[in-house]
Structure formats: C-alpha cells, structure tokens
Amino acid sequence: MNRVSAQAFVFLLGAVAGTLLDQIHVRSGVLWYAHPVLFGQAFWVPLVFGAGGLVLVNSHAVFVALAGGGVPGPLAAQALLFVGAYLMTGVAADQPLLVLGVLVTAWAMRVAVAPSRELVLAGIAFAVGGPLFEAALSATGGFSYDRPDLLGVPCWLPALYLHASLLTRAVYLTLAGRRPA
C-alpha cells in the first residue's frame, strides 16, 4: 500500500470506527452534541475522528524513533481490547473512578506483557494530549460530557486514550510492515 493510500485508509478507519464507537457515548448519555444531525451526532464527528486517527497513528513514528518499537500484537486483538475499554466508559459511566481504575490497571497489564519506553511515552502523551484536545473542542460548545470532572471532560478519559495508544501503535506498525509475532 503506498503512503497516500495508507493515509486515506487511516482517515477512513478513524472516521468510521470512531463515529461508531462514539455512538456508545451518545446512546449511554455520556455526551451529547449541541447540533446533532444523524443518530445524535454532529455532522463534523467523522471528520474529527478521521483527522484524529491520522494524528494518533502517525505520531507513533516519533515514539518508535525516540524509544524503539517492536512488533504489535495481533491487530484484531488490539481492536477488540479497545472496543472493550470504550464499552466500559459507556456501561459504567455512573462510576467514573471505577472506570478509571479498571482502564489504568488493564493498560498497565497490557504494557507489562512487553514493556518498553515507547509504549509508556506514547501512552502518557496520548493520555495528556487527547483529553486536552477534547476539552478545547468541548469548550467551543459543540458537545458536552454529561459528567465532566476537570476541564469539561470525565476523569476516565485519559485512561481511554492510554488504550487508544496501543491500538493506534498496532495500526502504525502494521502499516509500516511489522507483523505480529
């Protein structure tokens, strides 16, 4: 797959998968959009998730270059684990500290399987940058979380981004030609 095709694939994957996963938050009442147009979501949701996919996947080039990087786990397994984390944020939204604790513990266990500086650095960067971006976007009034804790976002959001770092790493390494062991 050439570079342009790979980037188009990542954008499309982020737009479709992200929008579908966002439905978990819409349907469970975790968040709402000020001007929904389809299924409770704003028209710009797929664009944000597509662009976010590009940023998150491509940022792994920096982390791999700085701290090294191995082969990803099987992409399907990484995707299922991320979907599970996302589901938890919707199903247990009324217990944000429990969600936070479970997601951080699960991430730490996943990283402990094959620990590396790259995994930890990317996780920390995503856990800080993702929620800050969402806080800024939420501050525009385009969407709001039902139970924000700090800066307009829930306390478990950084932990969800920890899991996003592992999935987007697997996508990046797979597109770079590194296959699971």
Summarised one tens digit per residue, pLDDT across range 59-76 is 999 998 887 766 667 899
Going by C-alpha positions, the residue among 76, 26, 72, 81 that lies closest to residue 49 is 26
Band of pLDDT at residue 21, cut at 50, 70 and 90: very high
Answer yes or no: are the C-beta atoms of 11 and 53 closer than 8 Å.
yes
pLDDT tens per residue, range 70-100: 666 789 999 999 999 999 999 999 999 999 9
Residue 1: both structure tokens together: 């797959």
Would you state the pLDDT for residue 74? Answer: 85
For residue 180, is pLDDT > 60? no
* Range 158-171 average pLDDT: 96
Q: Comparing 3 with 21, which gets the higher pLDDT?
A: 21
Q: What are phi and psi of 175, to 5 degrees?
A: -65, -30
Would you state the pLDDT for residue 29? Answer: 97
Fill in the DSSP letter of residue 180: P
Answer yes or no: are the C-beta atoms of 78 and 167 closer than 8 Å.
yes
Would you state the pLDDT for residue 130? Answer: 98
For residue 181, is pLDDT > 50? no
Residue 46: both structure tokens together: 């797929």
Domain map (residue ranges) of the chain = 3-175
Could you give the CA distance from residue 174 to residue 181 in angstroms, rounded to a whole number? Answer: 12
Answer yes or no: are the C-beta atoms of 100 and 160 closer than 8 Å.
no
Query: Residue written as tokens 């990484």?
Result: 78
Q: What is the mean pLDDT of the chain?
A: 94
pLDDT tens per residue, range 121-163: 999 999 999 999 999 999 999 999 999 999 999 999 999 999 9
